[in-house]
Structure 1
Amino acid sequence: MGKVILVTGPARSGKSEWAEILAMQSEKQVVYIATATQNSADAEWNQRIAQHQKRRLEDWVTLEVPIELSATLADAQPNICLLVDSLGTWVANLLSQEDAIWENTVAELLETVDLVAADMIFVAEETGWGVVPAYPVGRNFRDRLGSLIRQLATVCEAVYLVTGGHVLNLSVLGSPLPPKS
Structure 2
Amino acid sequence: MGKVILITGPARSGKSEWAEKLASQSNKSVVYMATALLDPTDQEWQKRIQQHQQRRPQNWITMEVPTALSKTLANVKPDTCVLVDSLGTWVANFLEQEDTDWEKTVQDFLDTVELVAADLIFVAEETGWGVVPAYPIGRKFRDRLGTLVRKLAVISQAVYLVTVGHALNLTTLGTPLEGN
Q: TM-score range by the shorter chain?
A: over 0.9
Matched, 1:131 2:131: yes
Normalized against structure 2, the TM-score is what?
0.99
Q: CA RMSD in A?
A: 0.7
Aligned counterparts, 1:1-181, within 5 A = 1-179=1-179
Query: Partners in 2 of 1:89 and 1:70 — Cα distance?
Result: 15
> How far off is 1:37 after superposition?
2.7
Gaps of 5+ in 2: none
Q: What is the aligned-residue identity percentage? A: 68
Query: Partners in 2 of 1:10 and 1:32 — Cα distance?
Result: 21
Normalized against structure 1, the TM-score is what?
0.98
Matched letter for residue 44 of structure 1: E
> How far off is 1:178 after superposition?
2.4
Q: Which of structure 1's runs of 4+ aligned residues deviate more than 3 A?
A: none
Query: Partners in 2 of 1:76 and 1:179 — Cα distance?
Result: 30
User: Cα deviations across residues 65-122 of structure 1 (Å, max 9, x unaligned)?
Assistant: 0000000000011000000000000000011000000000000000000000000000
Query: Partners in 1 of 2:178 and 2:103 — Cα distance?
Result: 19
User: Cα deviations across residues 42-81 of structure 1 (Å, max 9, x unaligned)?
Assistant: 1001111111000110100000000000000000110000
> How far off is 1:179 after superposition?
2.8
Query: Partners in 1 of 2:152 and 2:135 — Cα distance?
Result: 26
Query: Partners in 2 of 1:60 and 1:131 — Cα distance?
Result: 38
Matched letter for residue 170 of structure 2: L
> How far off is 1:11 after superposition?
0.1
> How far off is 1:40 after superposition?
1.6
Query: Partners in 2 of 1:178 and 1:31 — Cα distance?
Result: 34
Gaps of 5+ in 1: none
Alignment length (residue pairs)? 180
User: Cα deviations across residues 11-57 of structure 1 (Å, max 9, x unaligned)?
Assistant: 00000000000000000000000001320221001111111000110
